Amino acid sequence: MALRIASWNVNSVRQRSAHLARFLQENQVDVVCLQETKVEDPDFPALELEALGYRHRLIHGQKSYNGVAIISRLAFEDQGKLVWCRKDDRRHLWARLPGGLELHNFYVPSGGDKPDPAVNDKFDHKLKFLRAMARWCRKETVAERAVLLVGDMNVAPLDTDVWNHKRLLRSVGHTPLESSLMKSLLKAGSLEDVPRRFVPPSEPLYTWWGYRFPQAFQKDYGWRLDHALATPPAAAAITAMRVAKETRTWEKPSDHVPVVVDIG
């Protein structure tokens, strides 16, 4: 069965519900993984998604910060959520889709300002989270199953994943340590960096353009923070990938844009 799966950090699902509806319809998306929903579960805008045919959902949010969801046209065969770093801070959900694909939706901690775990607890948390993901891949032997990890990993691991590699080497999200932890994660799960099969590492590829730098999008001052990582059985079934950059031009956009993967 062919499925179109997307991942999008919407930066508040209530602020972005019209964009979400437009994106899902224009792209005929079957399943979308959301991050930074920033809403408690009873207030999640579920009805308008149901009206569009997305009758199945997993939501795991909290007040103000973080929050993830999986919204689907198809019923889930199984589902769950894991607690990472002993904090139940709404950063993960998983679902098994018809056909057997195990889809994991992550929102990795952003890491704060200073890339030093000794003085910045947020950066320490981020490093521990990335290490825990790699440990989990090994312990659960994910490489043996069809598993797709998507979400906002808050790391741009390659030189061409940021608009200025040299200038940003000391910025959280692009430090050599974070890039090496992403590499370890890929190794731990025998994971393919899916978008880089379709856009080679020699070319820039971004999924986030900040709000703060004036005209960041127009000047293409971007970062690739949002990822799709596939185990060998899942990677073999992937046929296409697209970064839905156009959403960043819509009125009052999220700072992140969707990553879309076709599988099966």
Q: Which residues bind DNA (CB under 7 A)?
A: 9, 11-12, 14-15, 36, 38-40, 63-65, 109-113, 122, 152, 154, 172-173, 208, 210-214, 223, 225, 252, 255-256
* Residue with smaller CB distance to DNA, 36 or 192: 36
Nearest-approach distance from CB 71 to DNA, in angstroms: 17
| Cα(108)–Cα(198) distance, integer angstroms | 24
Q: Which amino acid is at 114?
A: K
Nearest-approach distance from CB 96 to DNA, in angstroms: 27
Nearest-approach distance from CB 232 to DNA, in angstroms: 29
| Cα(83)–Cα(174) distance, integer angstroms | 25
Both structure tokens of 130: 């990335």
* Residue with smaller CB distance to DNA, 53 or 210: 210
> Which pairs from 41-44 meet CB under 8 Å and 24+ separation?
43/14, 44/13, 44/69
Which residue from 3, 6, 10 is spatially nearest to 243, judged by alpha carbons?
A: 6
Is there a contact between 71 and 57 (Cβ–Cβ < 8 Å)? yes
Q: Can you give the C-alpha Rg of the chain in angstroms?
A: 17
* Residue with smaller CB distance to DNA, 102 or 178: 178
Write phi, then psi, for 141 (nearest 5 degrees): 40, 55
Nearest-approach distance from CB 138 to DNA, in angstroms: 26
* Residue with smaller CB distance to DNA, 105 or 231: 105
* Residue with smaller CB distance to DNA, 11 or 160: 11
Which 3-state string (H, E, C) describes 128-150? HHHHHHHHHHHHCCHHHCCEEEE
Write phi, then psi, for 125 (nearest 5 degrees): -60, -45
* Residue with smaller CB distance to DNA, 172 or 186: 172
Nearest-approach distance from CB 140 to DNA, in angstroms: 25
Is there a contact between 156 and 225 (Cβ–Cβ < 8 Å)? yes
Nearest-approach distance from CB 263 to DNA, in angstroms: 25
